[in-house]
Structure 1
Amino acid sequence: MKVTVDFEECLKDSPRFRAALEEVEGDVTELELKLDKLVKLCIAMIDTGKAFCTANKQFMNGIRDLAQYSCKDALVETSLTKFSDTLQEMINYHNILFDQTQRSIKAQLQTFVKEDIRKFKDAKKQFEKVSEEKENALVKNAQVQRNKQHEVEEATNILTATRKCFRHIALDYVLQINVLQSKRRAEILKSMLSFMYAHLAFFHQGYDLFSELEPYMKDLGAQLDQLAVDAAKEKRDMEQKHSTIQQKDYSSDDTKLEYNVDAANGIVMEGYLFKRASNAFKTWNRRWFSIQNNQLVYQKKFKDNPTVVVEDLRLCTVKHCEDIERRFCFEVVSPTKSCMLQADSEKLRQAWIKAVQTSIATAYREKGDESEKQEKKSSPSTGSLESGSETKEKLLKGESALQRVQCIPGNAACCDCGLADPRWASINLGITLCIECSGIHRSLGVHFSKVRSLTLDSWEPELLKLMCELGNDVINRIYEAKLEKVGVKKPQPGSQRQEKEAYIRAKYVERKFVERQPVSVSLLESGTKVLPQSQEEKRHSGPEKSLLAGEQGAASLKEGDRQESSVFCDSKQSSPGLQLYRAAFEKNLPDMAEALAHGAEVNWVNVEENKATPLIQAVRGGSLVTCEFLLQNGANVNIRDMKGRGPLHHATVLGHTGQVCLFLKRGANQHATDEDGKDPLSIAVEAANADIVTLLRLARMNEEMRESEGLYGQPGDEIYQDIFRDFSQMASNNPEKLNRFQQSDSQKS
C-alpha cells in the first residue's frame, strides 16, 4: 500500500497530518516485517538449493565412476559420460541461478531495509523528539503569567525557535516518507524482475542443453531397442546350446583337453593336474598347468603369477611312471629337478605326454629364430631414453606463457571485446580473452569453449604450441566473416555484460557470422580419397615404409603440387567433415577451425577410407599439435577404423613417439587389438621402437598400480608423470630427439 503525506498538512500539524503519519508508520513497520520474512525465506531457499546441487554433484560423480568402470563397454561409457557432462552443466546453471537470486532478492531487498527503512526510522525518532519539545514549549508559553514580562519574552523566544526546528524536521520527515513510499515499488519490482529473468535464463539454458542431447538420446533409445532384440536372440541361442550340451555325456573330462602348438595366445595346452610336493610328506595338490613360451608352468589361482616348473623344455624329458601307487602318473625331468604329475585319466596322461614331447621338438626349431629377433631388439641402434645430458624442463607457466601467446597477431587484445592485455584463453578455440569475456565463455559449456588462465594455470608444451598456431586474427576471420553483412556491431570493452554475452553466444554457439561454404555434390559423389589406398596397404609391411610414404605425401603438398593432386583439391568446397578430415592430414589448423565452425563433426568417419577419422588422419600427417587441437575439441581418442586400429595403433605403427605420449595422457586404450589381434605394445615390440615400448609399458604399469591401490581417476606416481613430461617436452620442443628410431631404421636400410 502506498500512502503519501501532504507537505501543507505537515506545516499545519493538523490531526489529519498526525493520522496520516500514524498510518504510514504502521505501513512501514508491516513492510519491514514482510521484507525481512522474504529475505529469510530466500536465504533458506538458496541454502536448500546449494545442498541440492551438492547432492546432485555427488550423484553425477557416481555416474562418472560407473562410466569409468564400464570402460570396456564403449556404448555404456560414452552414454554415461555424455549424461554426466550434461548433469554437470545443469549443476552449473543451478549455481548461477542461486547466485542471481542472492543478488536480486537477498542483497537488493536487504539493502533497501537496512538503508532506506533505517533512514525512515532515524527521521521518525528526530520528529518524535522535536514534537515533544514543541509540545513542552507550547505548554510553558501558555503557563507564563502576564505580569512577568521577562518570562513571557523567554517563553515566546523558545516557542518560536522550537516551531522553526519542528517545521524543518517535520518537512524532512515527510520528504523521507514520500521518497520511501515512491522507492519501495521500484525496489520490490526490480528485485523480483531480476529474479524472474534469472529463472528465464536458467530454463532457456536447460532447454538448449537438452535439445542438443535429444538426438543422441533418441539414437540411444533405438540402439537399446535393437539390443533388446539381440539379447532375446542370444538368450534363445544359449538355451538351445544349453539343451544340446545337457544331452551329451560329460562324465569324463577326456574330451575337453586338446593341444595346439600354433595357438595364437602362445598356450599349447592347459588343464588341471595333481602335482606331488617336494617336501617330506609328498603331498599331492591340484593345480592349473599350462605349456607356454617353451615352459611348463602352473597356477593355484588365476591372479597368481605362474610358477615355472621347467624353464626351458629343450632341457627336459617326459616319461610314464608305473612304479607308484597312484594311477595315470607321469614325470617331467630336467637337469636340476624332476616333477611328478598325475592326470585324471589315461587318455589325459597320454595327451599331456604327447603335448610336452611336441613342445620340446618345437622349442628346438623356434629358439634359433627367437635368438635372432632378440639380438635385433637389443641392438644399440634402437636407442632408449637419454639421461644425464638432458635436464628436466618445467611446464611453461605464468608470464612466459602469457608473453608467447600475446605475441601472436591479434592476441594482444581480447578476441571478443578488444580489451587490451587479456590474461585468459580458450584453449579449444585458440584465442585470448579478457576476464569478463572468459566468464561468459565458461558459461557456454566446455563443449563450446574451454577457458584457462595464461598466468595462473600450468601449460603443457603441446597446448602452448596449439595456441601459437591459431590466434585471434585467424579465428575472427572465420567466426566474424559475415559481421559487416548482417549489420551487427562488435562489443567494446565498456559495453554492458548482457550485450557481450548475446554477441558471444551468437558468434560461437549460433555461429551467425560464419560464412557458409557451398557443398560440392560432385566431390562428395566422386569418392575422392584423402589417403591413397596403396599407402594404407603399405602400412602392413612395416612402420618405416608407411612413415616414409606419409613424409613423401606431406612433402608433395609443401612443394605446391596441390593442383596436380586429386587428394586435396578444392577441400573447402567439400562437406565440413571432409574438409576437417583433409586439413588434419595437411596440418592446417586454420582450415580445421573453419571446418568445425561450419559444423563439422569432430569424429567424422570417412567410409571411403576404412572408416578413418580426422584424428587418425592427423596421426598420419605427423603433427602433434593437430592431434591436440582435435582432442581439445572433443575428438574420441579410442574410435577405431575398419581394421580395428585407433589413433594409438597408427601412431605406434608410424613411430610417432610424441603422439603416442599424447594419446596415453588423454586416456587411449592400449589394450585394444586390431583385426590381426595386435595391441600397440606388441606392434612397438615387433618394430623394436624402444621409446614407444617404454611409454606403453610405463602406462600399463601405472594403470595396474592405480587399479591395485584403488587410485581411480588419479594421474599416477611422480616418476611416471616426470617421464611423460620429459617426452612431452621433447616432442614439442626437440622433436629431432625422438627421431632416433626412424634414423636408425634408415641407416639399416
Structure 2
Amino acid sequence: MTVKLDFEECLKDSPRFRADIELVQSDVSELETRLEKLVKQCQAMLEAGRVYCHTSKSFVSGLRDLGQHCSGDKTMEVKVAQFYTHAPFAQLSFYFQVHMDVRRFKDVRKEFERSSECLEGALVRNAQAPRSKQHEVEEASNALLNARRAFRSEAMDYVLEINVIEAKKKTDILMAMLSLMESQAQLFQHGHQSLSELDEYRRKLNEEHTQFVLNSAREKRDMEQRHAAIKKKDVSYDDSIMDFNADAANGIPMEGYLYKRASNAFKTWSRRWFSIQKNQLVYQKKFKEQPTVVVEDLRLCTVKPSTENERRFCFEVVSPSKCCLLQADSERQQQAWISAVQNSIASAFQEHREDTHSPVRVGGGGGGGGGGDQENKAREALEEVQAIPGNRQCCDCGEPGPDWASINLGITLCISPFLPKVRSLTLDSWEPELIKLMCELGNTVINRIYEARIDEITIKKPHPSSPRGDKESWIRSKYVEKKFIQKLPETGRTALVRRSSGRRNRADAQDRPAQRPPLKPKPGRATLPRLTGLNPSDLLQKNNTHRDSDEEEEDLSGLHPGALLYRSAALQNFPVMADALAHGASVNWVNAAEESSTPLIQAVSANALAACEFLLQNGANVNQADSSGRGPLHHATILGHTGLVCLFLKRGADYNAKDKNQKDPITIAVDTANADIVTLLRIAKMNKEMREMDGAFGQSGDETYHDIFRDFSHMASNNPEKLKRRSADPKT
C-alpha cells in the first residue's frame, strides 16, 4: 500500500504537510466526482439493459411462437429455447461503500480543520502572553498544550483516514471490476467465444487483487498498531520534532515556524515557516510561495538571544545591513534555532576555508585589455590598506589578521558585528574610492578618537581570546554609545588650521566674493566648544601637502561639531572629520553664512575624492543643494572635477536637477566644453533610460557603462592628473 502521508510529518504541521493535505483533498474531491459520474453512467447502462432485456424478451417470444409453429421439429425447438437467456444487470454495489468512506473522510477533515484553528488561536495567545503576568503565561501554556494534543490527535486520525481510503480505492475498484466482469460473463455466457480473450486478463487481475488484499490488510494492521503506539505518547511538546541536521537529504538542516517582527512602524508579528538552506536564512507563508531571504550570507551575521522585548523566547539575527527579531514557541526551540544558525555559520566558514582557490574580488571585473592591470593595482592598494598603522590587528581586541572592515569608520575588525557598512577584506568587492578612503584613516587614528578616555574608565578592553559577546559589548559601548570619546569641555582649545586654497578657487570659479563672512552655526543650534582626543599636531599631519605657505590660519577650537566637519572637509583632514562625526556632527550640516553650503560641497571645492567618499559613506545627501540650487554634482561639473562627477553618479546623484539658472549638470558640462564629464553624464542618462525601457526585468546596467565608470574610478583614485587633460581646453 502506498502511504500518502507520514505521521511524523503531520506532527510538524509544516507548509509541506499542508500542501500535501490540499493535494489529498483535491484528489478525494476528484474521486467523488468521478464516482458520481460513474454511477450515472451505470444507471444509464442499466436502463439500456432493461430496454435490451425487454426487447430481447419480445424477440424471444417471437422465436417461441416460431418454435411452436415448428413444434414438430424438436431440434429447432431446443435451439430456439436455448437462445433465450435471462441475466439481469447487477448493481455496482462498490460505489456505496466507497461513498461511505468519502463521507467519513469529510467528517474527519472537518474535525482536523477545527482543531487546526483552535491550535492557531492557542499559539497566538501563547505568543502574546506577557512575561510579566505569570498567570496569563501559565493559562496560555496549558491551553496551548491541550490544543496541540487535540490537533495532533485529529491530524494523525486524518492521516490514517487518508492512507486507508488510498488503499481501499485499489481494492474496492478492482473488486467492482471483477464483479462487473462476472456479471457480463453470466450475461454473455453463450457468447463465450467473444469474451474468451478476457480470460487471461481476468486471471491476472484476480491474482493481483488477491495480492493487493493481502498486502493492504498487513500494512493496515501495522499502521493501526503504529498509530495506537504513537497516540499513547505525550505529543504535546516539540522536543523530538525539530532538530538541526547538517546532512539532511533535502539540503535543509533546520526548518520550523517562528514569529517575525515586521520592520515597519507598527512592529507587527507574523508567523512564518523559516528554514536554513543554501547558506541563507529564508521564510515563506505557503509551501508554493517563493521563499523570502532574511540573510543573504550567514557568514556575515551573528545570532544571540534578545531579552529587551516583552515577548518570550526571542532572538536576533544581526547582519551588517539589518537586524531581524524572531520568536520561537518555546525556550527549547529558541536554543535550537540559535545553535542551528551558529552551526550553519561555522559550516559556511569551513566550506570557504576548504576552497583555497577563492580569489580576492577587488573593484569588479576587468573591462578591456587593462582590466588585469587595474585589478593588480587594486590588490596592491588593498594590501596598502592593511599596512596602515594599526590595521594588521583588530581595532578593538588586537587579534592579528582581521577579516572585516568598517568602510564608514575606516577601521579593520576581527568580527562582523552590528556596525553599519561592514565589508569583508577578502570576499567583497572593493571600489578604488573605498580603498583610497581606507588609506586615509586606520585603526590608530580612530582609536585616538573613540578611545580617548580609555584610561579614565574601568571597563576592560577585550583581547583576542575574549568571548564574542564581550567583543560585541565593547563595540557597542565604543561606537554606538560612544562612552570613551573626549567629552566637550566648557572652554575651547587653540589648535590652528589653515584655510583651504580649494575654497578660494571655488569662490573664484563661481564669481563669489573672495572674502567669506565669519562661519556661523546652523540657525536654531547653539555653537558648542570643541575638544577632541587628538593632539593639535595630529590635526595637521595629513594636510601639509594641500596647503600654500601664505595661507592664513583659522582657529577651530570653539566650533560647533557641524561647523568643524564643514571646515575640515575643505581641508581634507580626515581625523578631524571623524572626530566631528563622533561628537554628533550632522553630515548634512548647512552653513547659512556661506550660501547654505554643506560639508560635501566643501569637499568638492577641494577636489577631495576620498573626503567626498567618506562623507557619502557616513550618510551625506548626494543631492542636497545650496541656496543657488546647486548640488555636489553641479559644483563638480563647474570646477571640472571629473573623478567626483563619476563618484556622484555612481552614488545616485540626479543629473537632471536644475539650479536657479535652470541649468542641469549636462548643460553646464557642455557650456564648459568638458568632454569627459559630458560623456559620463550622457552615458549615465542613457543607461538609466535603457533600464527603464527594459522594465522590471531590466539589467543593473550596460556593460559598457560599467567599464567606462570603472576606468574613470581607477583613474580618479590612482592617476588623477590624467583627468585634467581636457577641462582647460574650450576648443575640444
TM-score (norm 1): 0.46
Q: Give the number of the structure whose residues are more often helix, by fraction.
A: 1
